[in-house]
Chain A
Amino acid sequence: MKVSVEYQALAPIIILLASGVLSVLVEAFIPRTLRRPIQLMLVLASIVLAFAYVVINATAPLAGDPVTNGGQVKGLRQLAASGAVAIDGPGMVLQGIILLVSFVAALLLAERQIDPQGDAFASRSSTLPGSEDERQFTAQGWLQTEIWPLYLFCVGGMLLFPVSNDFLTMFVALEVFSLPLYLMASMARRRRLLSHEAALKYFILGAFSSAFFLFGAALIYAATTSISFSTVAVAMENSSQDGLIIPGIGMIAVGLLFKVGAVPFHQWVPDVYQGSPTPLTAFMSAATKVAAFGALLRVFYVAFGGMRWDWRPMMWVIAILSMVIGSLLAVTQTDMKRMLAFSSVAHTGFILLGVISTSAAGLSSTLFYLLAYGFTSVGVFAIVGLVRDASGEATHLSQWAGLGKKSPWMASIFALFLLALAGIPLTSGFTGKFAVFTAAIDGGATPLVIVAVVASAIAAFFYARVIVLMFFTEPPVDGPSVVVPSAFTTVAIGTSAAFTLLLGIAPQPVLDLVINAGLFIR
Chain B
Amino acid sequence: MLLTTLMLIPLVGSIVVFLLPAAKATLAKQIALGFALATLVGSVLMVLGLDNSSGGLQHVESYDWIPAFGISWTLGVNGISASLIVMSAILVPIAIIAGWWDAENASQGSVKGYFSLILVLEVFIIGVFAANDLFLFYVFFEAMLFPIYFLIGRFGGPQRAYAAMKFLLYSLVGGLFMLAALIGLYVVSSRQLGQGTFDFQTLTTLNIDPATQKMLFLGFFFAFAVKAPMVPFHTWLPDAAAEATPATSTLLVGVLDKVGTFAMLHFLLPIFPEASKFYAPAIITLAVISIFYGALLAIGQTDVMRLVAFTSISHFGFIVLGIFVMTSQGLSGSSFYMVNHGFSTGALFLVMGYLVSRRGSKRIADFGGVQKVAPILAGVFLLSGLSGLALPGMSTFVSEFLVLTGAYAVNPTAAIIATFGIVLAAVYILWLYQRMMTGVPSKEVEESITEISRRELVAVAPLIAIIIALGFVPQVALNVINPAVEQVQTYVGVTDPEATVVIEGSGS
Binding site for B on A (CB under 8 A): 405, 424-426, 431, 434-435, 437-438, 441-442, 446, 449-450, 453-454, 456-457, 460-461, 464-465, 468, 471-473, 506-508, 511-512, 515
Contacts and interface: CB of A to CB of B under 8 A. Distances in A.
B200 interface: no
A442 B177 contact: no
B190 A471 contact: no
Given A425-B142, A468-B165, A471-B153, A442 B190 contact: yes
B146 to A, nearest CB: 9
B229 to A, nearest CB: 17
Interface string B151-189: 001100000110011001100110011011001101100
A434 B153 contact: no
Counting from the closest, the 3 A-B pairs by CB-CB distance are A511-B68, A453-B180, A425-B139
B154 A472 contact: yes
Interface of B: 65-69, 108, 138-139, 142-143, 153-154, 160-161, 164-165, 168-169, 172-173, 176-177, 179-180, 183-184, 186-187, 190, 196
Most-contacted residue by chain B among A435, A472, A515 (CB, 10 A): A472
A489 B164 CA distance: 33
Contacts of B173: 457, 460
A425 B138 contact: yes
B68 A515 contact: yes
Nearest to B154: A472
Nearest to B136: A425
A471 B108 CA distance: 9
B217 to A, nearest CB: 15
A170 B172 CA distance: 42
Contacts of B184: 441, 446
A339 B426 CA distance: 52
B18 to A, nearest CB: 12
Contacts of B139: 425-426
20 contacts: A437-B180, A438-B183, A441-B183, A441-B187, A457-B172, A457-B173, A460-B173, A460-B176, A461-B169, A464-B168, A464-B169, A468-B153, A471-B108, A472-B108, A472-B154, A472-B161, A472-B164, A473-B161, A508-B68, A511-B69
A431 B154 CA distance: 29
Given A457-B172, A464-B165, A434 B183 contact: yes
Given A442-B190, A468-B161, A472-B161, A453 B154 contact: no
A442 B138 CA distance: 21
Contacts, number: 75
A474 to B, nearest CB: 9
Contacts of B177: 453
A449 B183 contact: yes
B81 to A, nearest CB: 21
Contact of B69 (A434, A460, A464): A434
A432 to B, nearest CB: 12
Contacts of A464: 165, 168-169, 172
Nearest to B165: A468
Contacts of B190: 442
Given A453-B177, A460-B176, A468-B165, A508 B67 contact: yes
A333 B410 CA distance: 54
Nearest to A455: B176
A209 to B, nearest CB: 33
A437 B183 contact: yes
Contacts of B66: 431, 506-508, 511
Given A424-B142, A434-B69, A511-B66, A453 B179 contact: yes
Contacts of A468: 153, 161, 164-165
Given A441-B183, A441-B184, A453-B180, A512 B68 contact: yes
Given A441-B183, A441-B187, 13 more contacts: A426-B139, A431-B66, A434-B183, A438-B186, A438-B187, A449-B183, A453-B177, A460-B169, A468-B165, A471-B154, A473-B161, A508-B66, A511-B69
A450 B177 CA distance: 8
B198 to A, nearest CB: 11
Contacts of B138: 425
Contacts of A511: 66, 68-69
Contacts of B160: 472
A81 to B, nearest CB: 34
Contacts of A473: 161
Contact of A456 (B108, B143, B165, B176): B176
A468 B149 CA distance: 10
A405 B65 CA distance: 36
A506 B67 CA distance: 11
A146 B161 CA distance: 48
Contacts of B165: 464-465, 468
Contacts of B154: 471-472
A356 B200 CA distance: 30
A365 B56 CA distance: 36
Contacts of A515: 68
Contacts of A424: 142
A426 B143 contact: yes
B315 to A, nearest CB: 28
Contacts of B186: 438
Contacts of B142: 424-425
Contacts of A461: 169
Nearest to B181: A453
B169 A438 contact: no
A405 B186 CA distance: 42
Contacts of A454: 176
A503 to B, nearest CB: 11
A460 B167 CA distance: 13
A450 B161 CA distance: 29
Nearest to B191: A442
A442 B179 contact: no
A426 B65 CA distance: 12
B4 to A, nearest CB: 16
Nearest to A419: B146
B384 to A, nearest CB: 32
A460 B179 CA distance: 14
B169 A442 contact: no
A467 to B, nearest CB: 9
Nearest to A458: B173
A472 B161 CA distance: 7
A92 B169 CA distance: 40
A453 B169 contact: no
Most-contacted residue by chain B among A424, A425, A450, A511 (CB, 10 A): A425
Contacts of A507: 66, 68
Contacts of B68: 507-508, 511-512, 515
B439 to A, nearest CB: 39
A449 B215 CA distance: 13
B143 A425 contact: yes
B180 A449 contact: yes
A507 B196 CA distance: 17
Contacts of B187: 438, 441-442
B312 to A, nearest CB: 25
Contacts of A512: 68
Contacts of A460: 169, 172-173, 176
A437 B138 CA distance: 16
A424 B139 CA distance: 9
